[in-house]
A and B are shown apart, each in its own frame.
Chain A
């Protein structure tokens, strides 16, 4: 996990189409300038970055389902619950599942656990749009680097 680069996922550990779900893992970094401000002397993973982590987990799920044909952009967060503090150097496990695949949008549910305990969960909405030029290849390459299995393009 590299907070400053918004690289929130270390490994994709499972991807299934039926039912549609994706699992991933990360370790909250031991050091980050973010912790200097959040909070001085009491470093905690910011809740908004936990939400971003759930969004990225959901995003890779949606990319896998559409074969990296179109890009999911976070459009809404509902029912977000931040249930537990997460400190640096903590391993976390993410899970995202598909709630609804609409026309031009999708809705997922995602959650994060640490040491088997619920950290946070949310329902997330994404707009699904054509990739900006060049981004599709980068996203696919990054997903491969995370260990995501190769997926066929879906027309």
Chain B
């Protein structure tokens, strides 16, 4: 988790030009870090490349829009990193 967090936080700080210190495990990527949808695409591409995965962003957004999941579940940094770890583990399985 910690290595995933550091890697993702570095990607977000660099890609979206955000102060690395603001990218905390509790930070919400939209509400706290101010990342818009286009910047999030760049971040998603960088994360997909770095971890060799395909984050199911559309599925996540649909679950949030349909009230099946809380946005925090996917877009708070600690939770986002947990989802990434799950995707990496699923790929290795």
Contacts and interface: CB of A to CB of B under 8 A. Distances in A.
Majority SS of interface residues in chain A?
strand
A103 B45 contact: no
Contacts of B41: 75-76, 102, 104-105, 125, 127
Nearest to B55: A103
B57 A76 contact: no
Contacts of B59: 103
Contacts of B19: none
A107 B45 contact: yes
Interface string A31-57: 000000000000000000000000000
Majority SS of interface residues in chain B?
helix
A103 B56 contact: yes
A101 interface: yes
B54 A103 contact: yes
B42 A102 contact: no
Interface in A123-143: 125, 127
Given A102-B54, A103-B55, A76 B42 contact: yes
A103 B58 contact: yes
A106 to B, nearest CB: 9
Interface in A51-82: 75-76
